[in-house]
Amino acid sequence: MFEKGIVMSKLILASHGSLAEGMKSALKMILGDTVQAEAFGLDKWEQPQAIMEQIQKLREEAPEEEFIILCDMKGGSVCNRMVELCSEPNVCVISGMNLTLAIGLAMMPPGVKCSEMKAELFEEARDGIEYFDSAVVGGLKEEEEDDLW
């Protein structure tokens, strides 16, 4: 399948409520059912500790893989707990979950480490936060650029 030595990555979504499971469902809707991601929300898992233990189990099953843990909020209890996992090699935690970022992470080519892609992915996710109202949309009309070449 993949050459030896190539880092495979596992995307893990962790959140308050059921945001993680909802985010996974949105990812599947956009990228198709083959998308690989694990989702852990506190509605189901109750304690950040339980999520951490579950992720540790997954780590034992796939010690070679890079674990990318995408959390809902920096400073939140889930994220704080997940950051503790960073003491292990091949684990990284990203806060500020949103769909653009989750798509970017889910579509990372095999063999690429998250640290190599993060600048690009974060920029894209930040660009995805915008404000629209009638004045803004009215202004957009003026923007020309409607050609193929």
- Site residues for another protein per CB under 8 A: 29-35, 103, 107, 124, 127, 132, 137, 140-141, 143, 145-149
Least distance (Å) between residue 22 CB and another protein: 16
Token output for 16 = 């308050």
Rounded to a whole number of angstroms, the minimum distance from the CB of residue 103 to another protein is 6
Nearer to another protein, 6 or 30 (CB): 30
Residue with smaller CB distance to another protein, 3 or 143: 143
Distance CA 149, CA 147 (A): 6
- What is the enclosing helix (H) or strand (E) of 38? strand 38-41
Side by side, the strands of the sheet bearing 91-94 are 38-41, 9-15, 66-71, 91-94
Per-residue CA distances from 113 to 44, 62, 69, 131 (Å)? 30, 16, 13, 32
Cβ distance to another protein smaller for residue 78 or 106: 106
Q: Which is nearer to another protein, 55 or 105 (CB)?
A: 105
Measure the CA angle with vertex 121, ends 148 and 79; round to 5°: 150
Distance of closest approach, residue 7 Cβ to another protein, in angstroms:
21
Minimum distance of another protein from residue 31's CB (angstroms): 6
